[in-house]
Amino acid sequence: MQPQIRSAALEGYREICASLGVDPIAMMQAEGLDPTCLNDPDRRVAVDSLVRLFERTAQVANAPDLGLRLAAARPFSIMGPLSLAARDEPTVRGAFQVMIRYLHVHNEGVHIRMSEADGMATVDFILTHGKPMAVPVSSETAVAVTAKILKAFIGSSWTPIRVLFEHDAPKDTRPHRQFFGCPVKFGQFGTALHIRSADLDLPNRMSDAGLAPYGRRYLKELVESADVTLADRVGHLIRLEISSGRCSVQRVAQSLGVTRRTLHRQLAEEQTTYSELFTSVRKELALRYVAHTNRSLHEIAEVLGYSELSAFSRWYKKQFGVCPSASREHAESSPAPSVRRASKSA
């Protein structure tokens, strides 16, 4: 089953396209999306289709800051019942933990993990989509919406410590620095938001604690009816852990609250194994890092768990029939897809 997202994610898209001289209806139809989704925020659409729509729109409109524009247009209520439940938690930490735990109710294509050390919380974002391609618009939208929500919880003057993006920097990074109000780094091994741990323990300015239990109960009912497989959850955890160099079946099992033996047995019931899921994720990330980042092949080999570039190159060629350097050269020499702007009268 393909990951899905509520069509509320299209909030502001029509108006932004109009301001950029792009026909939103034509863009949606080209990606197989029903334009009536614009008027039905609870319609479920494929994450892959929405990702392609946003990336294509940024190309057509020559708007590398489209992700920031989309985030700015989205109200706090963008996540529907999840917004309501998070809003009424008494602390920022509680509200954010609700968001992380139940994000898939709104968007199955983004997964968030938070870890803390030395007074700083690192919020890692993993985007899952159909093809190993760079998705700067979708990545920036996810991080910018999260920062905007945290600002609503904490106060309008709040800013993160720094923001990291996996994709390469656009020519002009001023819109990004202005939006986040902090240093923004590109070309990193992962997309993340660094925030102060102390900020998480502040009171949630939006809270009505008396309503929090009702929101959590409603979310629990939604989650219990959701169709998310164990293999999906394991794959998501592998994506989050692999770049740390500490990814293992033991760590994944601990994250899920089960033993290694139980995890192996439950995956077997879904006719897969941890090894198969790990290889699938490694292949996906290898293709994306080689073709769509400027990181050196040595760095990519290391982050994917290879101590020697030669071992990584042999594995890559076995998987894809070509060595990573040739794969990168082909990606760099491939012509960019043709784009067409809509007429001003559209």
- Encode 263-293 in three state secondary structure: HHHHHHHCCCCHHHHHHHHHHHHHHHHHHHC
In a 3-state reduction of DSSP, which class is residue 24?
A: helix
* Residue 119 is assigned to a structural domain of this protein: yes
Q: Are residues 71 and 213 in the same domain?
A: yes
Per-range mean pLDDT, top range of 60-69, 84-93, 227-236: 60-69
Distance CA 146, CA 54 (A): 18
pLDDT of residue 158: 96
| Total number of domains in the chain | 2
Phi, psi of 344 (to 5 degrees): -60, -20
Give mean pLDDT, residues 112-131.
Answer: 86
pLDDT(261) > 50: yes
The percentage of the chain sitting over the pLDDT mark of 70, rounded to a whole number, equals 86
Whole-prediction pTM: 0.71
**Using one digit for the tens of pLDDT, what is the confidence trace for 150-174?**
999 999 999 999 999 989 999 999 9
Q: Are residues 169 and 278 in the same domain?
A: no
Both tokens of 97, joined, read: 């933990």
pLDDT of residue 71: 95
Distance CA 314, CA 295 (A): 19
Both tokens of 327, joined, read: 């794969």
* Residue 274 is assigned to a structural domain of this protein: yes
Q: How confident is the model at residue 287 (pLDDT cuts 50, 70, 90)?
A: confident
Range of the domain at 260: 230-333
Q: Are residues 49 and 185 in the same domain?
A: yes
Instruction: Note whether 54 and 138 are within 8 A (CB).
Output: yes
Check residue 132 and report its DSSP letter.
S
* Residue 338 is assigned to a structural domain of this protein: no
**Residue 318: which CATH number?**
1.10.10.60
Number of helices (H), then strands (E), in the chain: 17, 7
Q: Are residues 117 and 264 in the same domain?
A: no
Q: Are residues 187 and 248 in the same domain?
A: no
Give mean pLDDT, residues 323-342.
Answer: 65
pLDDT(342) > 70: no
Torsion over CA of 204, 208, 210 and 216, rounded to 10 degrees?
-70
**Using one digit for the tens of pLDDT, what is the confidence trace for 27-78?**
999 998 999 989 888 888 888 899 999 999 999 999 999 999 999 999 888 8
Q: Are residues 163 and 296 in the same domain?
A: no
- Estimate the crossing angle of helix 13-20 against helix 66-73, to 10 degrees: 130
Mean pLDDT of the chain, nearest integer: 85
pLDDT of residue 120: 96
Given the DSSP bridges, would you call strands 184-185 and 162-164 parallel, antiparallel or unpaired?
parallel
Q: Tell me the CA distances in angstroms from 136 to 16, 154, 262, one per residue in order.
A: 17, 27, 38
Q: Are residues 130 and 177 in the same domain?
A: yes
Q: Are residues 47 and 108 in the same domain?
A: yes
Distance CA 326, CA 322 (A): 7
Tokens 């390469």 correspond to 168
Q: Which of 219, 248, 281 is the last residue of a domain?
A: 219
Distance CA 92, CA 99 (A): 11
**Helix (H) or strand (E) segment spanning residue 95:** helix 92-102
Both tokens of 171, joined, read: 């020519």
